Amino acid sequence: MARLKVPTLVAAVVMVVIGAQDKRILPFGTWHRLSEDPIISRRGDGWESAGTFNPAVVERDGRIVMLFRAQDKQGTSRLGYAESTDGIHFSRRDEPVLSPSTEYEKDGGIEDPRLVKIGDTYYLTYTGYNKKDAQLCLAASKDLLHWDRKGIILPANKGNWNVKWTKSGAIVPEKINGKYWMFFLGTTLDGNDQAGLAYSTDLLHWSDATPSPVLPVRLGHFDSRVAEPGPAPLLTPHGVFLIYNGADDKLVYRTGIAIFDRNDPAKLVWRSDEPIFSPQKQWEEVGQVPNVVFVEGMVRQKERYLFYYGGADTYVGVAEAPIR
């Protein structure tokens, strides 16, 4: 694939209008890279040697804890653990905290985590890949180090509209109308990867909530080929705010925002016409998969949000935005 240099685009306008009189304010302002260089990079000849990317984050006891996808040179993925007090400088463990051990993870591994804390439990959604199918899986933990697998929660090749793999489970951190909700990625008959919605009463058993995707791709936009959920959504009085990863027909990945109704997360209220974050740095444009910024982690730290992303499926980067 030829390299395509894309200028950084930012959310310069934070007030968006929905309808004639209804105004919605985004919870954060313009994004800026907090570090010009990767904050986590591949190392050694072992489980982190090919790439360290696509991180999930959560705050615990005053520290930011990151679970990142690490890939070895044979293509098997595991989850590494790192923590930080300032959001930039991370110390990481020498061994992974989650490695493939089940049939649905065999040979391919554990990919692309998302984290959310509900009550006193951390819930981890991830892609289990066995070289045949990629399927959305769940694990739970009290300490972020020891994980109890709950199995596949949305199987591949099934569902109301999905005809292939399932990935990218972004769980809303609070119940809405007595149910838990999760945005996820599936594939429609036309071969496009789009975001759907599932619900659960116990966080363990999930079902499709709609007969079609709730965040479809858009012809001629930055998300014409892929519209994939990012980190756990923000739930505010103005709606359910979902950061998502959009890819165009050349598979350049950029970042968008979608807002869903506060009382009906299946109802899309607004989405960004232009990306708010795009590949710009050399390490975001060149790597295992070129021209990719892929956001999977978000955490609030004092008067800002921090956003953690994979660069070119090889590195971890971080951006910040002020709280509105």
- pLDDT single digits (tens) 119-172: 999 999 999 999 999 999 999 999 999 999 999 999 999 999 999 999 999 999
Instruction: Give the fold, CATH level 3, of 15-322.
Output: Tachylectin-2; Chain A (2.115.10)
- pLDDT single digits (tens) 42-99: 999 999 999 999 999 999 999 999 999 999 999 999 999 999 999 999 999 999 999 9
Single pTM value for the model: 0.92
Maximum Cα–Cα distance across the chain = 58
- Phi/psi at 48 (nearest 5 deg)? -110, 15
Quick check: 14 pLDDT over 60? Answer: no
Query: To 5 degrees, how large is the angle CA 4–CA 29–CA 321?
Result: 75
Dist CA 287 CA 142 (whole Å): 34
